[in-house]
Chain A
Protein backbone atom coordinates (compact mmCIF):
# COMPACT_ATOMS: atom_id res chain seq x y z
CA UNK A 1 0.00 0.00 0.00
CA UNK A 2 1.15 3.54 -0.66
CA UNK A 3 2.09 5.64 2.31
CA UNK A 4 4.69 7.44 4.37
CA UNK A 5 7.12 5.55 6.58
CA UNK A 6 8.91 7.27 9.43
CA UNK A 7 11.67 5.59 11.39
CA UNK A 8 12.53 4.99 14.09
CA UNK A 9 9.33 5.28 16.11
CA UNK A 10 11.32 6.23 19.25
CA UNK A 11 14.74 7.90 19.34
CA UNK A 12 16.97 9.02 22.16
CA UNK A 13 19.62 11.69 21.87
CA UNK A 14 22.59 12.37 24.09
CA UNK A 15 23.81 15.88 24.76
CA UNK A 16 25.91 17.24 21.88
CA UNK A 17 24.81 14.53 19.48
CA UNK A 18 23.23 14.91 16.04
CA UNK A 19 20.45 12.49 15.17
CA UNK A 20 18.70 11.83 11.86
CA UNK A 21 15.03 10.98 11.45
CA UNK A 22 14.03 9.08 8.34
CA UNK A 23 11.00 9.77 6.14
CA UNK A 24 10.21 7.76 3.02
CA UNK A 25 7.12 7.99 0.81
CA UNK A 26 5.92 5.86 -2.10
CA UNK A 27 3.01 8.10 -3.06
CA UNK A 28 5.00 9.75 -5.86
CA UNK A 29 4.42 13.11 -4.19
CA UNK A 30 6.57 16.06 -5.16
CA UNK A 31 6.34 17.97 -1.88
CA UNK A 32 7.43 16.82 1.58
CA UNK A 33 7.25 18.49 4.99
CA UNK A 34 8.60 18.16 8.52
CA UNK A 35 6.60 19.30 11.55
CA UNK A 36 7.33 19.40 15.23
CA UNK A 37 4.48 18.78 17.67
CA UNK A 38 4.59 19.77 21.34
CA UNK A 39 1.65 19.33 23.72
CA UNK A 40 -0.86 22.16 23.28
CA UNK A 41 1.24 23.76 20.52
CA UNK A 42 -0.22 22.10 17.49
CA UNK A 43 2.02 21.54 14.47
CA UNK A 44 4.90 23.84 13.68
CA UNK A 45 6.60 23.65 10.30
CA UNK A 46 10.37 23.01 10.39
CA UNK A 47 11.30 22.57 6.71
CA UNK A 48 9.56 21.76 3.47
CA UNK A 49 10.62 20.74 -0.01
CA UNK A 50 8.63 21.16 -3.19
CA UNK A 51 11.02 19.35 -5.54
CA UNK A 52 14.19 17.30 -5.41
CA UNK A 53 17.34 19.22 -4.46
CA UNK A 54 15.34 22.16 -3.17
CA UNK A 55 13.95 22.97 0.27
CA UNK A 56 12.81 25.98 2.30
CA UNK A 57 12.89 26.88 5.97
CA UNK A 58 9.63 26.79 7.82
CA UNK A 59 8.77 28.66 11.00
CA UNK A 60 11.21 26.93 13.37
CA UNK A 61 14.19 25.78 11.26
CA UNK A 62 16.96 26.76 13.70
CA UNK A 63 18.86 23.73 14.97
CA UNK A 64 17.58 21.46 12.18
CA UNK A 65 18.82 20.50 8.71
CA UNK A 66 17.35 18.52 5.81
CA UNK A 67 18.29 17.13 2.42
CA UNK A 68 16.20 16.10 -0.61
CA UNK A 69 18.40 14.00 -2.87
CA UNK A 70 15.61 11.66 -3.93
CA UNK A 71 11.92 12.29 -4.54
CA UNK A 72 10.85 9.63 -2.06
CA UNK A 73 13.14 10.59 0.82
CA UNK A 74 13.36 13.66 3.08
CA UNK A 75 15.54 13.01 6.16
CA UNK A 76 15.63 15.47 9.05
CA UNK A 77 18.75 15.97 11.18
CA UNK A 78 18.31 17.38 14.66
CA UNK A 79 21.64 19.01 15.43
CA UNK A 80 23.27 19.72 18.79
CA UNK A 81 22.34 23.37 18.23
CA UNK A 82 18.69 22.48 18.91
CA UNK A 83 18.60 22.93 22.68
CA UNK A 84 15.13 21.59 23.28
CA UNK A 85 14.66 18.72 20.82
CA UNK A 86 12.25 16.61 22.88
CA UNK A 87 9.07 16.45 20.80
CA UNK A 88 7.00 14.37 18.41
CA UNK A 89 8.16 14.80 14.80
CA UNK A 90 5.80 14.31 11.89
CA UNK A 91 6.62 13.98 8.21
CA UNK A 92 4.04 14.67 5.50
CA UNK A 93 3.83 14.74 1.72
CA UNK A 94 1.48 16.17 -0.88
CA UNK A 95 1.20 16.72 -4.59
CA UNK A 96 0.46 20.40 -5.16
CA UNK A 97 -1.21 20.80 -8.54
CA UNK A 98 -2.20 24.42 -8.72
CA UNK A 99 -5.71 25.02 -7.48
CA UNK A 100 -6.87 21.46 -7.06
CA UNK A 101 -7.26 19.74 -3.72
CA UNK A 102 -3.86 19.11 -2.18
CA UNK A 103 -4.19 17.49 1.24
CA UNK A 104 -1.11 16.45 3.10
CA UNK A 105 -0.65 12.81 4.04
CA UNK A 106 1.19 12.01 7.26
CA UNK A 107 3.49 9.35 8.62
CA UNK A 108 3.08 7.88 12.10
CA UNK A 109 5.73 10.09 13.68
CA UNK A 110 9.00 9.75 15.58
CA UNK A 111 9.18 10.58 19.28
CA UNK A 112 12.57 12.07 20.18
CA UNK A 113 13.74 12.27 23.79
CA UNK A 114 16.88 13.53 25.50
CA UNK A 115 18.94 11.11 27.60
Chain B
Protein backbone atom coordinates (compact mmCIF):
# COMPACT_ATOMS: atom_id res chain seq x y z
CA UNK B 1 0.00 0.00 0.00
CA UNK B 2 0.88 3.67 -0.13
CA UNK B 3 3.10 5.25 2.51
CA UNK B 4 0.79 8.26 2.74
CA UNK B 5 -2.93 8.19 1.90
CA UNK B 6 -5.42 10.97 1.34
CA UNK B 7 -8.95 11.21 0.00
CA UNK B 8 -8.88 12.54 -3.56
CA UNK B 9 -11.76 15.02 -3.37
CA UNK B 10 -13.51 17.32 -0.87
CA UNK B 11 -16.24 19.87 -1.54
CA UNK B 12 -17.41 22.51 0.93
CA UNK B 13 -19.51 25.63 0.90
CA UNK B 14 -17.87 29.01 1.32
CA UNK B 15 -17.71 30.00 5.01
CA UNK B 16 -17.78 26.42 6.27
CA UNK B 17 -14.78 24.62 7.75
CA UNK B 18 -12.83 22.13 5.65
CA UNK B 19 -11.05 19.13 7.12
CA UNK B 20 -8.51 17.30 4.97
CA UNK B 21 -7.30 13.98 6.33
CA UNK B 22 -4.08 12.03 5.86
CA UNK B 23 -3.00 8.63 7.16
CA UNK B 24 0.50 7.20 7.01
CA UNK B 25 2.17 3.90 7.74
CA UNK B 26 5.63 4.87 9.02
CA UNK B 27 5.72 6.15 12.60
CA UNK B 28 9.29 7.46 12.50
CA UNK B 29 8.60 10.90 11.00
CA UNK B 30 10.05 13.92 12.75
CA UNK B 31 8.13 16.55 10.82
CA UNK B 32 4.85 16.32 8.90
CA UNK B 33 3.89 18.91 6.32
CA UNK B 34 0.93 20.34 4.45
CA UNK B 35 1.44 21.85 1.01
CA UNK B 36 -1.01 23.68 -1.28
CA UNK B 37 -0.94 23.57 -5.09
CA UNK B 38 -2.95 25.97 -7.23
CA UNK B 39 -3.61 25.13 -10.91
CA UNK B 40 -0.49 25.14 -13.06
CA UNK B 41 1.78 26.09 -10.17
CA UNK B 42 4.29 24.49 -7.86
CA UNK B 43 3.69 23.46 -4.27
CA UNK B 44 3.53 26.08 -1.55
CA UNK B 45 4.36 25.14 2.05
CA UNK B 46 1.32 25.90 4.21
CA UNK B 47 2.30 24.61 7.61
CA UNK B 48 4.05 21.79 9.40
CA UNK B 49 3.98 20.07 12.77
CA UNK B 50 6.74 18.54 14.85
CA UNK B 51 6.05 14.95 15.81
CA UNK B 52 5.98 15.59 19.56
CA UNK B 53 3.06 18.02 19.16
CA UNK B 54 -0.64 17.16 19.03
CA UNK B 55 -1.89 20.40 17.55
CA UNK B 56 -0.64 23.51 15.84
CA UNK B 57 -2.71 26.56 14.99
CA UNK B 58 -1.74 29.19 12.45
CA UNK B 59 -4.46 31.77 11.73
CA UNK B 60 -7.23 29.88 9.86
CA UNK B 61 -5.23 26.65 9.76
CA UNK B 62 -5.25 23.99 12.48
CA UNK B 63 -3.13 20.87 12.21
CA UNK B 64 -3.98 17.85 14.37
CA UNK B 65 -1.63 14.91 14.78
CA UNK B 66 -2.67 11.57 16.27
CA UNK B 67 0.50 9.53 16.39
CA UNK B 68 -1.19 6.48 17.85
CA UNK B 69 -3.53 6.25 14.85
CA UNK B 70 -0.93 7.69 12.41
CA UNK B 71 -3.44 10.31 11.36
CA UNK B 72 -2.81 13.91 10.36
CA UNK B 73 -5.48 16.46 9.54
CA UNK B 74 -5.65 20.01 8.27
CA UNK B 75 -8.63 22.14 9.23
CA UNK B 76 -9.28 25.35 7.33
CA UNK B 77 -11.70 27.66 9.12
CA UNK B 78 -14.04 29.99 7.21
CA UNK B 79 -13.08 28.42 3.87
CA UNK B 80 -12.98 30.83 0.94
CA UNK B 81 -13.16 30.25 -2.83
CA UNK B 82 -9.46 31.17 -2.95
CA UNK B 83 -8.74 28.08 -0.87
CA UNK B 84 -9.77 25.87 -3.80
CA UNK B 85 -6.61 23.91 -4.65
CA UNK B 86 -4.92 20.55 -4.20
CA UNK B 87 -3.58 19.91 -0.71
CA UNK B 88 -0.70 17.48 -0.15
CA UNK B 89 0.32 15.78 3.05
CA UNK B 90 4.05 14.93 3.30
CA UNK B 91 6.16 13.12 5.88
CA UNK B 92 9.90 12.70 6.30
CA UNK B 93 9.89 9.13 7.67
CA UNK B 94 12.69 10.14 10.02
CA UNK B 95 15.05 10.96 7.16
CA UNK B 96 17.78 13.47 7.98
CA UNK B 97 18.67 13.73 4.31
CA UNK B 98 15.76 15.89 3.22
CA UNK B 99 13.66 13.36 1.34
CA UNK B 100 9.87 13.73 1.76
CA UNK B 101 7.08 11.27 0.97
CA UNK B 102 3.89 12.75 -0.44
CA UNK B 103 0.28 11.65 -0.54
CA UNK B 104 -1.65 11.83 -3.81
CA UNK B 105 -3.27 15.11 -2.85
CA UNK B 106 -6.83 16.16 -2.00
CA UNK B 107 -8.65 18.41 -4.46
CA UNK B 108 -10.60 20.93 -2.38
CA UNK B 109 -13.47 22.67 -4.17
CA UNK B 110 -15.17 25.58 -2.44
CA UNK B 111 -18.66 26.52 -3.66
CA UNK B 112 -19.94 30.08 -3.27
Contact = CB atoms under 8 A, between A and B. Distances in A.
Interface of A: 4, 6, 30-31, 33, 40-43, 45, 48, 50, 90, 92, 94-96, 98-99, 101-109, 111
B88 A109 contact: no
By size class, the interface of chain B is: 20 to 34
A95 B97 CA distance: 9
Contacts of B42: 4, 6, 90, 106-109
A38 B89 CA distance: 17
A96 B98 contact: yes
How would you classify the secondary structure of chain B's contact residues: helix, strand, loop or mixed?
loop
Contact of B40 (A50, A92, A101, A109): A109
A46 to B, nearest CB: 12
Interface stretch (B11-19, B55-63, B65-73, B99-107): B99-107
A103 B90 CA distance: 10
21 contacts: A30-B98, A31-B97, A33-B99, A41-B104, A42-B88, A42-B102, A43-B88, A94-B98, A95-B98, A96-B98, A98-B96, A99-B96, A101-B31, A102-B31, A102-B98, A103-B33, A104-B98, A106-B42, A106-B43, A108-B42, A109-B40
